[in-house]
Structure 1
Amino acid sequence: METIEKTKRRETALTRPKRPTVSLESLIYEVMDGEPIYYKGYRDVLSGKKTAEEIMGSSTLQWIICSYFMQVMYRQLDSKKYWFASSEAGVHLNHRNNLAHDVAIYDRAVLTPDKINTRYADVPAKIGIKVDVKADISKENDANYVNRKTRKLLDFGSEKIIWIFTSTQQIMVAEQGADAWLTMDWHRDLELTDGQFFNLGQYLADEGITVEVD
């Protein structure tokens, strides 16, 4: 009987489907200063604890927030003047820096039809929005990564970079030429662009969504 059970276990192990091997390169989220930055949780993928899809996907709260900004853009801004980007829209700064926005507003006079192709945008977004830190930053703290990325995007030509931090219910707004970057709670009216405002905290409350602070 014991031999039969061992045989069954061995057969089960042999027939259990194995997760496909994932290359380290496929887990790169961004490139900054020539160094690859991997998705948060990439080590769990390499060890077989998680799939690549599990670490690359957005949480329900994150995609609800991105959806809210897209609603604001389409309802309040001129779609003949701007392109509205989502889905980790990539931006190519130079050969050493490839970064990503979660949501972005591009001026059509800057991102002209001849610049739209199968590659990353190589012109700056007017407004870039990020929802949480999705990069593995185990080698540096959150603030350093956020500050470095924000500075690079502003230097590239973006007018404003907005960070949403769901764990603390805060928003950071960094503007071109500003003396300081402001971080505040998300329960307030903030200008997106062109005199149009958003209030993320109010929107979530109106939708009955409760977010616990870490």
Structure 2
Amino acid sequence: MKTTKQIPKTLIYEEFDGHPIYRKGYKDFILGLKKIEEINMGTSQLQYLITWSIVKFLARELPDGYAAGSSELGLHLTKGTNFAADIAVFREGVLNIGFQSTNYSDVPPNVVIEVDVKIDESDYFQTQDEYFHKKTERLLAWGVERVIWVFSASRRVLVADNLKKWESISWDIPFTVIDDYEINVWELLLKNGFQV
């Protein structure tokens, strides 16, 4: 796509091997169809409910010392590769945060949970599948023990424990997040006000 319009950094969602990965809708900004404030920087209501329901459950169920939070934690894997994590879960003693902790995390979370794909993959990846497969592979190779993707459109969950074993299940089947703590996305949604 040829353009002379400068792409603002706020439209960069992640960086993959030195390549910017832009947010969905950034091309509308380039073409002058939307203003920057019209590009969806946040999540949908359903994505919010999924994320909030999982974090709420983990905060209530995980013992003291575990950290489970959401806020697009920045993950610095290597020079030129920086990802965002919808939900990151750390076991006790993994995180050491102080006043100097103002950069992206260079410590891999034990678990990363992603809710849907929020990027325009067309400039660097062939498909959305290629994007989430490559992101999952990189996170696992970096040291993340489990990567979980929740896809709201297909109502499926992908659980990847290592580079060789990935499992795709319906989101109404329980799965392990960390240690012995299991969740069932559908049950959590219903408990937290999802309207059928």
Shorter-chain TM band = 0.7 to 0.9
The structure 2 residue matched to 1:29, chosen from 13, 21, 36, is 13
Q: Give the CA deviation at 1:30.
A: 0.4
CA contact (8 A) 2:53 2:189 kept: no
Q: Per chain length, whose mean CA-contact separation is higher, i.e. which structure has more relative contact order (CA < 8 Å, sep 6+)?
A: 2
Contact 2:54 2:188 in 1 (8 A): no
Identity %: 35
SS of equivalent to 1:102? strand
Q: Are 1:76 and 2:66 matched, yes or no?
A: no
Would you say 1:176 and 2:162 are equivalent positions?
yes
What do residues 151-207 of structure 1 show as CA deviations (whole Å, max 9, x unaligned)?
Answer: 100111011000011110000000136x32011110111111121111111222343
- In 2 relative to 1, CA 208–32 (structure 1 residues): closer, same or farther, beyond 3 Å? closer
> For the structure 1 residues 24 and 70, does the alpha-carbon distance in structure 2 shift closer, same or farther, using more than 3 Å as the test?
same
Q: Which position in structure 1 is the counterpart of 2:50?
A: 65
**TM-superposed deviation, 1:42:** 0.6
Count, aligned residues = 188
CA distance in 2, matches of 1:23, 1:114: 34
User: In the alignment, which of 98, 105, 118 is matched to residue 121 of structure 1?
Assistant: 105
Letter in structure 2 aligned against 1:129: I
CA contact (8 A) 2:73 2:88 kept: yes
Distance 1:115 1:37 in 2: 29
Instruction: Give the 3 Å change call, closer, same or farther, for CA 33–59 of structure 1 in structure 2.
Output: same
For 2:110, the aligned partner's letter is K
Work out the CA distance in 1 between the residues paired with 2:91 and 2:81: 21
| Normalised TM-score (structure 1) | 0.81
Query: What is the root-mean-square deviation of aligned Cα atoms in Å?
Result: 2.0
Q: Which has the higher helix share?
A: 1
CA distance in 2, matches of 1:34, 1:115: 28
Within the alignment, does 1:109 sit opposite 2:93 as a pair?
yes
Structure 1 CA distance, aligned partners of 2:99 and 2:144? 17
Q: Deviations over 1:138-162 (max 9, x none)?
A: 2421111111000100111011000
**Number of the residue aligned with 1:156:** 142
Looking at structure 2, the residues matched to 68 and 61 of structure 1 have their Cα atoms a distance apart, in angstroms, of 10
Equivalent AA in structure 2 for residue 61 of structure 1: L
Describe the SS at the equivalent of 2:182. Answer: strand
Which structure would you say has the larger Rg? 1
TM-score by length of 2: 0.87
**Counterparts of 1:51 and 1:59 in 2: how far apart (Å)?**
19
Give the deviation of 1:51 after TM superposition: 4.1
Equivalent pair of 1:24/1:46 in contact (CA under 8 Å): no
Query: Structure 2: which 5+ residue stretches go unaligned?
Result: none
Alignment partner of 1:55: what SS?
coil
Amino acid in the other structure paired with 2:159? V
Deviates further, 148-157 or 82-91 = 82-91
Find 2:82's aligned residue among 75, 81, 98.
98
Query: Structure 1: where are the runs of 5+ without partners?
Result: 1-20
